[in-house]
Amino acid sequence: MMRRAMAVCVALSVAGVAWAGPQREAVLDVLSGVESPPTHADLQAIGEDVTSELLDIAADVSVPASRRGRAITALGFYPTDAVRTFLETQLREADTSLYRRKAVGALAVGWGAEALPLLKEALEDADVQLRIATVGALAQLDDGAGIEVLQQRLVSEPDLHVKDAITKALKAEVTE
């Protein structure tokens, strides 16, 4: 599976260079900010077809990791089938924890409670940093389903850092 994901990323990155759209530079500029991630409004201001540019950038191994990560995060603003497939692949098969964590957040933003099965799966992952990112993603779901999952996980979570993140997320929910 990892080889397939790498082959897809390489194919997309080669295609991305060859088929780079007219908005690629504008999207890359928006993704280069250091202080804060790009907003949906920032990306919409560029024009149409930003989704394909983001997908190309997110898969392009020649793009710096920080911009690729921001592109993965920004894909959450564009909940299409192609984006979901890409994010699911990143979550399950990306070769770095950064991209997996970004995929968790983007799935929560783009699909909300519909992403719950994937988020529950990520909460079981061996990667502590991914589990912490998943806690944040679950806490931001609007319908409370994420909070229920966090309450259940708190009892069985073996890592103290993840337990701490869950406790903080649950306390924040109570005070809102």
pLDDT by residue for the chain (176 residues), tens digit each? 444 444 444 444 444 444 567 789 999 999 987 778 899 999 999 988 899 999 999 999 999 999 999 999 999 999 999 999 999 999 999 989 999 999 999 999 999 999 999 999 999 999 999 999 999 999 999 878 899 999 999 999 999 999 999 999 999 876 76
Distance between alpha carbon 1 and the CA centroid of its chain, in Å?
19
* Enclosing H/E stretch for 101: helix 97-111
Domain ranges of the chain: 1-78, 99-176
Closest by CA to 169, choosing from 111, 108, 114, is: 108
CA geometry: angle 43, 120, 9, nearest 5 deg: 50
Tell me the pTM. 0.84
User: What is 112-138 written as a DSSP string?
Assistant: GGGGHHHHHHHHTSS-HHHHHHHHHHH
pLDDT of 15 reads 41
